[in-house]
Amino acid sequence: MRRVNVRVRFAPSPTGFLHIGSVRTALFNWLYARHTGGTFVLRIEDTDVARNTPESLRTILDGLKWLGLDWDEGPDRSGNFGPYFQSQRADVYKRRVNELIDKGMAYDREGAIRFKMTRQPIAVPDLIAGGVLRPLNETEMLDPDFVIVRSDGNPVFHLVNVVDDIEMKITHVIRGEDHLSNTPKHIALFRAFGIEPPKYAHIPMILNPDGTKMSKSDPDPAKARLASLQTYVNDGYVPEAMRNYLCLLGWSPKDNREVIPIADVVKLFDLPQILRTNARFDAAKLTWMNGEYIRAMQLDRFIELARPFSLKSLEGVASAEPYIRSVLGLVKEKLKLLNELPDWTSYFFTEEYPFDPEAVKKSCSSPQTSERLTKLAGKFAAVASWDAASLEASLKALAAELGVKTGELIHPCRVAVSGKSAGPSLYHLLEVLGRERVLARLRRGAQKFRP
């Protein structure tokens, strides 16, 4: 069913890197907005002046753009409910606080403004968790009132969160389950303003593989690293794979598919389908999925994503573009991560490539290696058309003449021209390198591997 009036928001605080759990929250809000034909609002909760930084804000904006989560209202976008930075909304909060004071729902104590909280338990009708009734604890029973404006005049999270949701006409609040304990306070504030609360949907947490909480302040650097979106950007994961994988952390299409086009996810996604159990982050599965996306990716898109990881010395050299395109097209099928590109492509761009000692020992230690490489260079020199099919036929013909298996020519040839024992299809590799470079490398190899 199309819900044309749905308005959801993602409201991060620019106080550090973009947490992977926050990214998943943004994604689920974006998916719900796109599924319902609604509006996705990006609101920056930057009232913590001491901790906010421009770098953190840029990290948030760049991270969302990298994932393709475009917002309809917010920074860099027009909208009728701005400004979308809480630091610029002080007059709105002051007006709303005065409204509560006039109603007798808030009062001053030692310079701070406190909200008169109900003494009765508040039920939270959550779209995922179901009906949640959170009774007051002993401390709250004695004094359930809470501060909404500090003595320094700064409003607190509970107030600004609710006021902005009211002013921006948010209909659904989709956020992490760790916020569920705050929701009764927020519902009480909505009611104090005479506003029906939005529908709440608290999504399960993302955990480390060992079941511990995924936290950017984890004392284990390896675990803390897993919590940052930037880790995956730097390691060479592609946005399409990261987005797909995060969709499956707490949601399932119910048909056992794992690699799912985002357009299909948008069609299928709905809040009641979100699972109640916490999700464990599986980096190995993400890496597998990344490889699947790279292999299926259009070459132009792959080249766009690959540039930051390789070929920097050739950027802007127009004459090199066809060659770069050929190289990347050749290795695309082999990659799982974009940061593997230098290892897969370095020998295409320099004659000073290293030789893997194990590869040399395994494939080039025969007394006949030097002679075979010399003969192979001569055979290739006579090839009329320098293409993979012709090169394959030429190598096989030489193997037949010498009475050896083709592998006894293929393996030393690969080591001679690349320094490695593995790589893309040898014949296509030779085609891309070109006649002159291949012949020179084979002759150098013949000298290098002379008994």
Task: Tell whether 41 is covered by a domain.
Answer: yes
386: pLDDT strictly greater than 50: yes
Q: Residue 142 maps to which CATH number? A: 3.40.50.620
* Owning domain of residue 399: 351-451
Measured CA to CA, the distance from residue 417 to residue 346 in angstroms comes to 12
Mark which of 207, 236, 263 sits at the end of a domain. 207
Mark which of 189, 207, 225 sits at the end of a domain. 207
Task: Tell whether 236 is covered by a domain.
Answer: no
Task: Lowest mean pLDDT of 308-312, 346-350, 397-401, name the range.
Answer: 308-312
pLDDT digits (tens, 9 = 90+) for 234-273: 999 999 999 999 999 999 888 888 999 999 999 999 998 8
Q: Do residues 224 and 218 make contact, with C-beta atoms less than 8 angstroms apart?
A: yes
Task: Tell whether 240 is covered by a domain.
Answer: no
pLDDT reported for residue 168: 97
Measured CA to CA, the distance from residue 128 to residue 172 in angstroms comes to 12
Task: Tell whether 121 is covered by a domain.
Answer: yes
313: pLDDT strictly greater than 50: no
Q: In 67-179, at which residue ranges do the beta strands (DSSP E only) sit?
A: 106-109, 112-115, 122-126, 130-134, 146-149, 172-176
Look at the pTM and tell me if it is higher than 0.95.
Answer: no
Query: Which single residue is written with the structure tokens 């024992």?
Result: 421
Residue among 11, 35, 24 at smallest CA distance from 173: 11
Task: Lowest mean pLDDT of 169-173, 217-221, 256-260, 324-328, name the range.
Answer: 217-221
Number of domains in the chain: 2
CA 96 to chain centre: 38
Q: Do residues 159 and 166 make contact, with C-beta atoms less than 8 angstroms apart?
A: no
108 is written with which tokens? 């001053």
- Residue 16's region, left for phi above 0, alpha for psi from -120 to 50, else beta, is left
pLDDT reported for residue 141: 62
Catalytic annotation present for 216: yes
Task: Tell whether 37 is covered by a domain.
Answer: yes
59: confidence class by pLDDT, cuts 50, 70, 90: very high
* DSSP element (H, E) containing 279: strand 279-280
Task: Tell whether 212 is covered by a domain.
Answer: no
What integer is the mean pLDDT of 293-317? 80
* DSSP element (H, E) containing 388: helix 388-402
Task: Tell whether 446 is covered by a domain.
Answer: yes
Task: Tell whether 264 is covered by a domain.
Answer: no
Using N-to-C axis directions, what is the helix angle for 369-381 and 435-448, rounded to 10°? 160
Q: Which one of 199, 216, 334, 375 is the catalytic residue? A: 216
Residue among 241, 240, 239, 209 at smallest CA distance from 226: 209
Largest CA distance in the chain: 100
Q: Residue 392 maps to which CATH number? A: 1.10.10.350
75: pLDDT strictly greater than 60: yes
Mark which of 174, 207, 240 sits at the end of a domain. 207
pLDDT digits (tens, 9 = 90+) for 3-13: 559 999 999 99
